[in-house]
A and B are shown apart, each in its own frame.
Chain A
Amino acid sequence: MFRPFFYALRERGVMVSPTAFLRLQRALSMGLVQSLDDLYTVARTVLVKSERDFDAYDQLFAEHFADEAAAGASSADLDQKLREKIAQWLKKPKKPATSVEPGAEQLERMSPEELEQYYHDRLDDQVGEHHGGRKWIGTAGVSPVGHSGQRPGGMRIGGISRNRSAMQVALERRYRDYSRDKSLTRGQVGEALKRLRHLIPAGPHDALNIDATIYQTMRNGGEIELVFDRRLADRLKVILLIDNGGWSMETHVPTVQTLFNHARNQFQNLDIHYFHNTIHERVWNDPERVHSPIPFEQLLARDPQSRLIVVGDASMAPEELLHAGPSYTLRRVSKQASIERLQAMAKAFRHAVWLNPLSPSLWPYGQTINLIRQTFPMFPLSLDGLERAVEHLMHS
């Protein structure tokens, strides 16, 4: 019952260590888990180490403990001792709270066919009366069928449904906003800023601080004590290129601007330029892309140590990226295909990333995304993506 859950967590990228897993077993054997609610909380506090994984945990917890009972596959895996323990704790029924009619949302969790199938399977299996358990039909259990049980999303066979259980809590997905893979929102600017703080060069502790060394040596009664400071490193220059054309980018542009503007004083220099879809002869200083153009060559001539961050969905008609020369659909005449310009930029700036607000699951389907990904390392515009992008910028 717990082992598949453990592996499911690991598969979802929640790095649960075996030690933590054993710790959970210890908690179970110490009798710290008295109900499914307890299990939800205890397992989370012991296994999951970051609020960014809470959402994944919530989903898996709901998914896992429902699916497994339904498949009836748990018995083989269930450690005998553990099963006794759990059966034991489930025998202590919780006191019923105010009755709530199950909402439509509750019924959705298991399709009616599944529920019915499960119900019949259990009827075939079940011998004798049963009260309190997690698989059999009876009362006051957490099986998906039966009544007065603690498991929401179950089928009610008479009786009334009970108060909020762990499963409900898990299904609420309270931690969705902290989830790693969600696209960046306004509300996460603060959290994202913390990721950007790593965008600071740090020299090693190798500069001898003479004054402090003398002072510390004196303090030490003449024993020499060397004091080293961090070597000073110049703050970074950052060039931020934002694609602000097209509706797909609309919601993300203000977020990105706010984010970097707040981080501005952390950089020696932050230049924000705008473009549409991809980069041609020029980028603009003004968001309207009319008044103050910057020629591409000038952009290319910036300090090669600058960190280049491009934010865009990288989605456009392929000819816009690949075509050079006069264009029928666009007003411009371009001597050089845009992809070549992008390649020139990637070459000029050793530290460059492309942040894409589109979900990475969509990337393989975009022809131009694939082309640009070959040129720039691409990261999703999410907390996690930002973190990895910053790491890439600092260590590539």
Chain B
Amino acid sequence: MTQEAPLQRFTNASHYVLDDELARIVNVSMALELPLLLKGEPGTGKTRLAHAIADSLGMPLIVLNVKSSMKLVDALYQYDTLTRLNDSRFSDSSRDVSRIEDYIRMGRIGQAFTAEQRVVLLIDEIDKADTDFQDDMLDVLDQMQFDIMEIDKTVTARHRPVVIITSNAKKDLSDPFLGRCNFHHIAFPEADMMRRIVAVHFPGLDEQLVDACLAAFYRLRDLEGVEKKPATRELLNWLRALLVDPDVDATALAEGRLPYLGILFKKSADLEAAQMQALA
């Protein structure tokens, strides 16, 4: 087995708090040239990780936001038939109507393959798409090439992109899919980790306030009968709201007077439950 030129290693990036375990997993996936599948509840920083990797490796980031109706070919390339039809009728464009290639536009995966330099390709929320899409996509990523049928041309990746795939676990992914990825589940950050995350976003925040907020936040997450628990994103927004309100102080929070619960709980039933139980 040939060792590649010095492995590019991913360490840390600003605005993303990384634990060692995760850094190790990212490095291993890059070395093994396997896509890394990240699962975890919303708000655990799956998407942000890709941004951080791109940042720290100095590679451009290409994001493919998967939609439920998406077909694989949309992610690879598009054949703009409408423009071609238009051009052939009015012939006032600089494109050559007889050259189909002029009407092929690269999709996100295509862009990642044809990019001048190595890129980070983030495939966000893969679980939204159907199984066929997932399996076919991995075939493409495995072989690092795809065919453009209309012009009978094969696009091969110039540089193997670093592929990060995220899933919210709405649907289970198929076994063949899982078999071709490295897997990591990002657990919800614990209080210590969360403190570091908060510190990154709000440097120099009053310690007492942070303590009180985090205590309240984790208490609220443990409430019974809540369907959508508040996540990191909600916590940060909540903190932002608390910071602009001059009336908020740590002691009030510690006593259980919690304003702006609506930021933390996005469903009305959850909000009611939280308000009931927070008062009790």
Within 8 A of A (CB), among B17-45: 21, 24-25, 27-29, 31-32, 34, 36-37, 39-41
The answer to whether B227 and A189 touch across the interface, beta carbons within 8 angstroms, is yes
Given the interface pairs A42-B24, A49-B178, A186-B224, the reply to whether A178 lies near B31 with Cβ below 8 Å is: no
Binds B, one of A13-21, A126-134, A142-150, A279-287: A13-21
**B82 with A17: CB separation less than 8 A:** no
Query: Closest residue to A16 on the B side, CB-wise?
Result: B179
Query: With contacts A49-B179, A178-B185 known, is A26 near B25, CB below 8 A?
Result: no
A337 adjacent to chain B (CB < 8 Å): no
Assess the A54–B185 pair: CB atoms within 8 A.
Answer: yes
Q: Which of these, A20, A194, A197, contacts B179 with CB under 8 Å?
A: A20
Task: Judge whether A318 is part of the interface by a CB distance below 8 angstroms.
Answer: no
Any B CB within 8 A of the CB of A270? no
Assess the B31–A32 pair: CB atoms within 8 A: yes
Cα A51 to Cα B84 in complex, Å, equals 48
Report A-chain residues with C-beta under 8 Å of the C-beta of B182. Answer: 45-46
Distance, CA A219 to CA B79, complexed state (A): 11
Chain A interface size, under 10 / 10 to 19 / 20 to 34 / 35 or more: 35 or more
A51 and B39 in contact, given A20-B179, A190-B229 (Cβ under 8 angstroms): yes
Shortest Cβ gap from B214 to chain A (Å):
19
A284 to B27 alpha-carbon distance, docked (Å): 58
Most buried by B among A48, A49, A178: A49
B217 to chain A, nearest CB (A): 16
- Complex Cα gap A17–B183 (Å): 13
Closest to B41 in A: A190
**CB of B228 closer than 8 Å to a CB of A:** yes
Q: Within 8 Å CB of B21, what residues of A?
A: 41
Tell me the number of A-to-B contacts counted with CB atoms below 8 Å: 85
**Cβ of B141 to closest chain A Cβ, rounded Å:** 15
Chain A nearest Cβ from B174, distance in angstroms: 11
Tell me how far the C-beta of B176 lies from the nearest C-beta in chain A, rounded to whole angstroms. Answer: 10
Q: Is B246 interfacial (CB-CB < 8 Å)?
A: no
Chain A: CB-nearest residue to B30:
A32
CA distance A29 to B31 in the complex (A): 12
Contacting residues, chain B, for A221 (C-beta < 8 A): 81-82, 84-85
CB-contact partner of B32 in A23, A38, A49, A258, under 8 A: A23
CA distance A219 to B84 in the complex (A): 11
The chain A residue with its CB closest to the CB of B36 is A45
Residue of B nearest to A174 (CB): B187
Return A324 CB to nearest CB of chain B, in Å: 40
Within the complex, which residue of B3, B36, B81 is in contact with A30, where a contact is CB–CB below 8 Å? B3
Docked-complex contact A50 and B183, CB < 8 angstroms = yes
* B58 CB to nearest A CB, Å: 22
A262 at the interface (CB under 8 A from B): yes
Assembly CA distance A354 to B39 (angstroms):
31
Known A-B contacts A45-B184, A194-B169; A26 and B24 likewise in contact (beta carbons under 8 Å):
no
- The answer to whether B170 has its CB under 8 Å from any CB of chain A is yes
Q: Is there contact, CB below 8 Å, between A41 and B181?
A: no
A27 and B28 in contact, given A49-B183, A219-B82 (Cβ under 8 angstroms): yes
Q: Answer yes or no: B175 CB below 8 A from chain A CBs.
A: yes
B158 to chain A, nearest CB (A): 23
B149 contacts partner chain A, Cβ-Cβ < 8 Å: no
Q: Does A220 contact B (CB under 8 A)?
A: yes
Q: A51-B185, A189-B227, A190-B227 are in contact. Are A32 and B178 (CB under 8 A)?
A: no
A214-230: which have CB < 8 Å to B?
219-221
Q: Are A46 and B28 in contact (CB under 8 A)?
A: yes
Tell me what chain A mostly uses at the interface: helix, strand, loop, or mixed.
Answer: helix
The reply to whether the CB of B203 lies closer than 8 angstroms to some CB of chain A is no
Q: Does B225 contact A (CB under 8 A)?
A: yes
Q: Is there contact, CB below 8 Å, between B81 and A194? A: no
Q: Which residues of B contact A54 (CB under 8 A)?
A: 185
Does chain A have a CB within 8 A of B280?
Answer: no
A219 and B81: CB pair below 8 A? Answer: yes
Q: How distant is A307 from chain B, measured CB to nearest CB, in Å?
A: 20
B1 at the interface (CB under 8 A from A): yes
CA distance A178 to B188 in the complex (A): 12
Set of chain B residues within 8 Å of A254, measured between Cβ atoms: 224-225
Q: Is the CB of B25 within 8 A of A45?
A: yes
CB-CB nearest in chain A for B221:
A187
Docked Cα-Cα span, A139 to B178, in Å, equals 40
B81 near A220 with CB under 8 A, answer yes
Cβ-based interface call for A175 (8 A): yes
Query: Which of B1, B41, B82, B183 has its CB near the most chain A CB atoms (within 10 A)?
Result: B183
| Of listed B25, B28, B29, B178, residue having the most chain A CB within 10 A | B28
CB pair A197 B181 closer than 8 Å: no
A316 at the B interface (CB under 8 A): no
- Is A193 positioned at the interface, with any CB of B under 8 Å from its CB? yes
B169-224, CB < 8 A from A:
169-171, 175, 178-179, 181-185, 187, 222, 224
Q: Is the CB of B1 within 8 A of A29?
A: yes
Q: Is the CB of B228 within 8 A of A190?
A: yes
- Chain A residues with CB below 8 A from B222, complex form: 187
On chain A, the residues within 8 Å of B169 by CB distance are 191, 194
Known: A49-B181, A197-B170. 10 other contacts (CB 8 A): A27-B32, A30-B3, A38-B24, A41-B24, A50-B183, A51-B40, A54-B185, A190-B41, A221-B82, A258-B225
Kindly list the 8 A-B residue pairs having the minimum CB-CB distance in the complex, ordered from nearest: A51-B185, A49-B178, A221-B85, A45-B25, A49-B183, A45-B182, A41-B24, A42-B28
10 contacts between A and B (CB under 8 A): A30-B1, A30-B31, A38-B24, A41-B24, A42-B25, A45-B184, A49-B181, A51-B185, A190-B227, A219-B82
What is the interface of chain A, defined by CB distance below 8 A to chain B?
A: 15, 17, 19-20, 23, 26-27, 29-32, 38, 41-42, 45-46, 48-51, 54, 174-175, 178, 186-187, 189-191, 193-194, 197, 219-221, 254, 258, 262
